[in-house]
Amino acid sequence: MRNWWIKFGCFLTGYNYGIVRTSSEVSSKAVKKYTSAMLIVCILWSFVGFMFTQRYLRGNIWGSVAGSALMVVIIVQIERQIILSLARNRWLYISRGILAALMAILGTIIIDQIIFKEDIELEKITFIQKRVDQGLPPKTQELNTQIASIDTAILKKEADRSQLIDEVTKTPYIKTTSTQSSPIKKQTTIKDSSGKIITTEQVVNSTSVSVTTVPNPKFTLIATLDQTISNLRTDKSKKDSALLNIRPELEKQISSKIGFLDELEIMCKLITGSGVAFFVWIIWFLFLMWLEMLVLISKLTDAKSDYEETIKHQMNLQMKKLEALAKLAHQ
């Protein structure tokens, strides 16, 4: 079990298990210590990554797990920068300290948004009401303009309908005249000079005029106008209903669009407005800051181990081999 834990620690920290196995117990304890510190940080940030993905990136359970795993990978790579450094690089340590502060702030923000969830929900009510008050007038004005336009159209169509009904009432029927011509044969009888009767026949066009009474065709226009007026009234009814429900609908839209920055703004107001909330925030910040600095503090306070000396010795041997090869190449 001990070897498996050290193997896992070497995998996590980036140490060479073959060298650690042949080194002293000091190197094994260093691996265990770094592993424990990294596990604490990784567990914390896996939770932060999971909640951030689920809450603000709208990820499902598998997406949140992927976000959690990605955060763990990032943390491991960051901590390895410190653990695997052989030289005492001041700028590297300063950079890690700054990064630790930034990560502590980010982690505190996300964790506090979970801790203060109920308080944030209460503050959201006021926040949403302010957003609604800002967005309500232009939307109300737009709907009122549309309703007024529909009312004008309805009045115009009703006036056209009344005029059409008056006209149809006065003349419910109209007469139509149709003319039809047809060829007919016409015979003409005359006597010539000798007294003989001569009959001639010719074709002439006969024109007949017929007058019929039909219902006024404008009757059909009344039905069309009725349908148009009905459609306009339906649209007006929908607009009136939308006007009555515009505030709850707007509240629903704004509530569904509250994001990370909005909740951050709400939380900042909550923290700055409450001494207790600010105290809790400071405690979490210091706690996360201390966790982030665990590996760095361990690295700074540790004495040199035989593992590091073995690495340096291997490097020196390799450098000497390269120098010897370079001399042989120049001879």
Q: Is the dihedral of CA 298, 304, 306, 307 positive or negative?
A: positive
Beta-sheet pairing, 197-215 with 173-191: antiparallel
- Report the alpha-carbon distance of residue 17 to residue 9 in Å, rounded: 9
Rounded alpha-carbon distances, angstroms, from residue 145 to 140, 159, 236: 9, 21, 11
Closest by CA to 296, choosing from 9, 17, 7, 95, is 95
- Domain segments of the chain as ranges: 2-122+268-330, 173-215
Q: Inter-axis angle of helices 260-273 and 275-292, to 10 degrees? A: 120
How many CB atoms neighbour CB 292 within 10 A? Answer: 26
Q: What are the pLDDT tens digits along the chain (331 aa)?
A: 458 888 888 888 888 888 888 888 888 888 888 888 889 889 988 988 898 888 778 788 999 999 999 999 998 888 888 888 776 677 877 887 888 888 888 888 888 878 877 887 788 888 888 888 888 888 888 888 888 998 898 899 888 888 888 887 887 777 677 676 666 666 666 666 666 666 666 666 666 666 677 777 777 778 888 888 889 888 988 888 888 888 888 888 877 777 777 777 888 888 888 888 888 888 888 888 888 888 888 777 777 777 777 888 888 888 888 777 877 777 6
- Residue 138 vs residues 135, 148, 187, 297: alpha-carbon distances, Å: 6, 15, 89, 58
Query: At 60, phi and psi to the nearest 5?
Result: -80, -170
